[in-house]
Structure 1
Amino acid sequence: MTDTSSPRSAQAYWEDFYRDRDRDAAPDRPRPNELLVREVAGLPSGTALDLGCAEGGDALWLAERGWRVTAVDVSATVLRRAAGRAARAGLDELIDWQRHDLSQSFPEGSFDLVSAQFLHSPVARDGEREGILGRAADAVAPGGVLVIGSHAGWPSWQDEPPFAYHFQTNAEMLAQLGPAGREWTVETDELLTRELPGPDGRPGSRADAVLTLRRAG
């Protein structure tokens, strides 16, 4: 596990977030993100970079399918928890857990798959996510795939946003990443709506976007 220094603001926020979740008895095998599963299930295994790995659900799912995964998060607490799950599942040799604040440092190397699932943060500075996604695109190997899963807005039952946040559209990310010409092919560009009840049980929904790009080989 690589320990890379990060600014106190992001590190402190996510450390507190995951320490609080300790008391909630987080599941021992978190489910992988459905958007990632849908986009990657049919791909041959190779090397993968999981940005913002959190509880490790995506990294474990990928490793079970033969991928060699570099899994990254800013929280040492959640990385320790995820690494413990990998060891219990006999997958620890397939996953390299690294701590990075992605606005400050980034894993080395290139990868057949780079995954950025719901890489949103209430403590991110303006332009920070855009810079991270640019580096994510740079880390895709020739012939490899970049899969970005994003929230497209607040849940329908969120009467007042808890903080100011701009949810980038796929079109904005495409314009920023510049995947035009022969270098990139857009394989998926979709907006999906799923049911998401509110904390008080009332019905609701939330829109998510998936953007999958393949680099020319």
Structure 2
Amino acid sequence: MTHIETNHPDEWDVRYASAERVWSGDPNGALVAEVSDLPPGRVLDVGCGEGADAVWLASRGWTVTAIDVSAVALGRAAQHARDAGADVTWVCTGLVEADLPAGGFDLVSAQYPALLRSPGLDAERALVRAVALGGELLVVHHEVLTDEAHAHGFDPSMFVMPADVAALLDDDWRVLVDERRDRTVAGGAGAHHAHDLVLRARRLR
């Protein structure tokens, strides 16, 4: 499940419309590993794609707000939720443009986000700002090899990585996980990536 923050949502609509299903349909492994033991609360799923993470969270009792710039993806996600009997609030927006309450979420999850870098660190600050006191931030991305990415016409330096978010975390935060991790996915786009970069942190004050 990939995840989207771009100035060109139409491009993502075209991508989703080009296939019956883009992602595996399963919740992301890092999310399951890091969140399964947390008590449910309010969660923001950033760049929810076809909704597998949001539906999984809702099934475990979380109150889920899921955002994505692609209306096509959200339509597919909403159908997934209906089929699963899950209650999710779907919002068609990018992270930076979203009118999110400061400290409004007990968990902010960004799984493989395509968040554009900016001089003002807008995306990174939006992620951090949304986490409630005592809440957690989980940012996961593929480990991207620069030469390989450039060979496929992708410039990883344009996008926010977990390390960029970690650089904003001060003494008000406790970093719980900051590591490179093996990744196994059964199918869907992104299955070829072998490793994840995982950042998990808790807001202390």
Asked if TM exceeds 0.5, the reply is: yes
Q: CA deviation at 1:101?
A: 2.2
Contact 2:149 2:156 in 1 (8 A): no
Q: TM-score scaled to structure 2, two decimals?
A: 0.82
Deviations, residues 48-82 of structure 1 (Å, cap 9, x unaligned): 00000001010011011000100000011111111
Where does 1:1-217 land on structure 2 (aligned, <5 Å)?
9-22=7-20, 25=21, 30-92=25-87, 95-108=88-101, 110-120=104-114, 124=116, 126-127=117-118, 130-154=121-145, 160-166=151-157, 170-175=162-167, 177=168, 179-181=169-171, 183-194=172-183, 206-216=194-204
Contact 1:152 1:168 in 2 (8 A): no
Structure 2 stretches lacking a partner, 5+ long = 186-191
Contact 1:156 1:205 in 2 (8 A): no
Deviations, residues 167-215 of structure 1 (Å, cap 9, x unaligned): 656444322x2x222x11000011123468xxxxxxx753320000101
Q: How many residues align?
A: 194
Q: TM-score scaled to structure 1, two decimals?
A: 0.78
Question: Partner letter of residue 166 of structure 2?
Answer: L
- Provide the aligned C-alpha RMSD in A: 2.9
Structure 1 stretches lacking a partner, 5+ long = 1-5, 197-203
CA distance in 2, matches of 1:132, 1:174: 13
Contact 1:186 1:214 in 2 (8 A): yes
Decide whether aligned partners of structure 1 residues 128 and 119 sit closer, same or farther in structure 2, where only a CA change above 3 A counts. Answer: farther
Question: Partner letter of residue 110 of structure 2?
Answer: A
Give the number of the structure with larger relative contact order, counting CA–CA contacts within 8 Å between residues 6 or more apart: 2
Decide whether aligned partners of structure 1 residues 21 and 128 sit closer, same or farther in structure 2, where only a CA change above 3 A counts. Answer: farther
Tell me which residue corresponds to 2:188.
none
Larger Cα-atom Rg: 1
Runs of 4+ in 1 over 2 A off after TM superposition: 101-109, 154-159, 167-173, 193-196, 204-207
Contact 1:155 1:205 in 2 (8 A): no
CA distance in 2, matches of 1:47, 1:170: 22
